[in-house]
Amino acid sequence: MANVAVIGAQWGDEGKGKIVDWLSARADVVVRFQGGHNAGHTLVIDGEVYKLSLLPSGVVRKGCKGVIGSGVVVDPTALLAEISRISEQGVDVTPDNLVIAENAALILPVHQELDAMREGAAEGVKIGTTKRGIGPAYEDKAGRRALRIIDLTDPETLPEKIENLLVHHNALRRGFGHDDVGAQSLYSMLRQVAPKITPFVRPVWRELDEAKRSGKRILFEGAQGVLLDVDHGTYPYVTSSNTVAGQAAAGAGVGPRAVGYVLGIVKAYTTRVGEGPFPTELHDEIGKRLGERGHEFGTVTGRQRRCGWFDASLVRQSLKISGVDGIALTKLDVLDGFDELKVCIGYKINGVDYDYLPAGADNQAAAEPIYETMEGWGGTSEKARSWADLPAAAVKYVRRIEELIETPVALVSTSPERDDVILMKDPFQD
C-alpha cells in the first residue's frame, strides 16, 4: 500500500474536498500540511454536508485520525469555532481523532488586522487575500518571532514572546496610521484558548512515524493549488506557503519517501479567485455559464470565481513541478451541452510562442492563449461511473487532456456525490 498526497494542480477550488473524502474512506490518517483557514472544502457524507477550513478531512470519519502538521498556520479561535460547528453536526472532535503539531505557528488578531490594512491601502499590489492573517503569520514564522502552539502549554513564557512580536507589529501599525496593540489583550486571549487547544498538542512527527511503521495508510491533504505556490505560482498573486507535493513531507514531518503516490486534482475547466493573471479567462456568456453550472463560489469567502477554458499548458507545468503520478479530473459534467470546447495548448506573448507560462509578472499578464478546439457533447456525463456511461466526445476530451498534460488520469469525477467516480487507478495501491 502507498501513502497518498493530494494537491490542487490549478489555482485551488479544483474539487479536492470530494476526492479527499473519497480517499479518506481508505485512509487511517489524514494530514493537513500547509495553509490555514483561508482555504475551504466541502464534504458530503451520508447526505450530511461538512464545510471544513482548517480541520483535516479525517476527523469526520470514524476510525480515522486527523493531523494538523507544522506547515499549517493555526488560528486558535477559528479552530475552536470549527470544532464547535461540526460538533453540532454530530462529529466529536477529541484528542483521539485530532492531533495538532506542537511546532505549528499561530495566527493572531494582529495578523488579520495587518492583512486588512495592506489590502485596504491606497498604494501597493492588491493580492486579493481572504484577510484571515495567513500571510503575516507566515512572515512572522520566517522572521523567527512567531508564537507557536507549544507556547500555549507554558503561559508563563507568553508575555515576553508577545512583547517581541509587537515590537514588529506596532511599528507596522504606526506606518498605516493605526494605534498600537497592547500586550495584555493578546495575552488574555491566549490564556483563554490555551486549555481548549493544548489537549490536542503532540509531536506530530512521532505520531506519523508510528503510523508509517505499523502499516497505516496516510493521506496528505493539500490546500489551495500549485499555481498559488509562493515559489512556483503566479507571483505575487499567490498564497504564502508552498502548495506543491514536496511540502507534504516538510509540512507534516516525514521523509520525502514516505509520501508515496502524488494525486493532482484538476478541474475540467479553469477557475480562479482573487487577483492575478488568468490567460483563458472568459468574460462572456460561456464564462458565466461555466460559473453557474459549476456553482463557482468560494467555500470560505463566498466570492464568485473567475471562469475560463481548460489550460493544458499551465496544468502540465504544475504537474511536472509537483511530480504528480496521476490526476483526478473533476467537474467533467459541467461541460455537458457545449457545442464546442477549447483547450489552451500554449501562449503568444509579445509575438513569441511559449509552451509554458514564464515566471515574469509582465509576461504572465500579456499571455494570450493559443487554443485547440474540440467537439462538445450533447449527452450527459453526470453521475457516470464507467467509461461506457460517458458520451464518446467526453471520452475523447479526457484522453486528449491526458496527452496534452503528459500525465495519466487516475479517476474522473462526474458529480458532487462522492461515489460518482470513474476509477482507473486506486492511488493507495502500489
Q: 241 φ, ψ to 5°?
A: -130, 170
Phi, psi of 171 (to 5 degrees): -65, -40
The residues facing 66 across adjacent strands are 30, 98
Sequence-separated (6 or more) residues with CB below 8 Å from residue 288: 307
Cα separation of 407 and 325, whole Å? 7
- Coil, strand or helix: which one is 268? coil
- Gap between the Cα atoms of 72 and 55, Å rounded: 11
Spatial distance between the Cα atoms of 400 and 312, rounded to a whole number of angstroms: 10
CB 2 within 8 A of CB 257: no
Helices (H) and strands (E) in the chain, counts: 12, 20
* Cell numbers placing 422: 470513474
Instruction: Report the C-alpha gap between 298 and 252 in whole angstroms.
Output: 26
3-state class (DSSP) for residue 257? helix
Listed in sequence order, the DSSP H helices in 367-413 are: 392-405
Reference 219, options 410, 74, 67, 102; nearest CA is: 67
Nearest to 8 by CA among 239, 235, 185, 228: 228
Residue whose C-alpha cell is 507568553: 158
Catalytic residue among 41, 111, 169, 232: 41
Catalytic residue among 13, 140, 151, 420: 13
CA–CA separation, 71 vs 78, rounded Å? 17
Q: Are the C-beta atoms of residues 143 and 123 closer than 8 Å to each other?
A: no
Site of grid cell 509531536:
203
**41 among known catalytic residues:** yes
Set of cell numbers at residue 387: 467509461
Is 229 a known active-site residue? no
Q: Which residue reads 462522492 in cell numbers?
A: 418
Beta-carbon neighbour count of residue 38 at 10 Å?
28
Cell numbers for 69, please give them.
502538521
Indicate which residues carry an active-site annotation. 13, 41
